[in-house]
Copies of this chain bind each other. A is one copy, B any other.
Amino acid sequence: MRVLITAFEAFAGSPVNPSEQVVNAMQQAGLSGQQLFTSVLPVDAHTAPQILSDAIEASSPHIVIALGEAANRPVISIERAALNILDFRIPDNEGNTITDQPILPGGPAAYFSTLPVRAILKRLQASGIPAELSYSAGAYLCNMVFYLLMDWASRQPQPVQAGFIHLPSLPEQAAARGNSGPSMSLETSLQAIRAAIECAIEQHAQNGG
């Protein structure tokens, strides 16, 4: 099976992004028995869509999990839905601040994740990894990539397991901010994403995918 995992580069003044570190660690270790593809997307509303699209085209994936960082969340957030809206509270890395615009004019208001989100939640919690189902991926680059991913998935002839998972900041990021914010170790986040991929593979297999 072909599995694509995407991440984001660092943004908002932090030198690192936990999603990029998770993807790099997975890239190094590989995915036993599966073909793993990874892509680190720019935090740039104008170029991220094309780079996502290229990564999808290059991998022709059965499963796609897009990752991003949610700096104020203490647990793994398994996102349920992407909204067709852009509303940036901070500029992206190229200085774009987009407010109250649709991602795809005329597109549906939202797409639901096609990952087995409930199964992933249960798997993570059973593995001792703090996690939650989330009903909002925000209105920044993460939600944008999530929406575009699901829009692509909706146009595929075969069902694709696709969705988005937010990771907490790394401990070193929280330490650098010095503001008592939450964090999660790279090891725990990596373990979470490995478990999520396993769930997606199992469901894909069950669906005869």
Contacts and interface: CB of A to CB of B under 8 A. Distances in A.
Interface of A: 73-75, 80-81, 83, 85, 87, 100, 108-112, 118, 124-125, 127-136, 138-139, 170-172, 174-176, 178, 180-185, 187-188
Contacts of A85: 80-81, 112, 135
A69 to B, nearest CB: 15
Main secondary structure of the interface of A (DSSP, over half): loop
A13 to B, nearest CB: 16
* Shortest beta-carbon contacts, A-B, top 7: A128-B172, A110-B110, A136-B136, A74-B182, A130-B174, A109-B110, A185-B185
Copy count, this protein chain:
4
A169 to B, nearest CB: 9
A128 B83 contact: no
B108 A175 contact: no
B83 A81 contact: yes
Nearest to A177: B130
B75 A180 contact: yes
A35 to B, nearest CB: 30
A125 B188 contact: no
A77 B81 CA distance: 19
Contacts of A184: 171, 183, 185
Instruction: Give the interface centre of A127, A138, A183 by most chain B CB atoms within 10 Å.
Output: A183
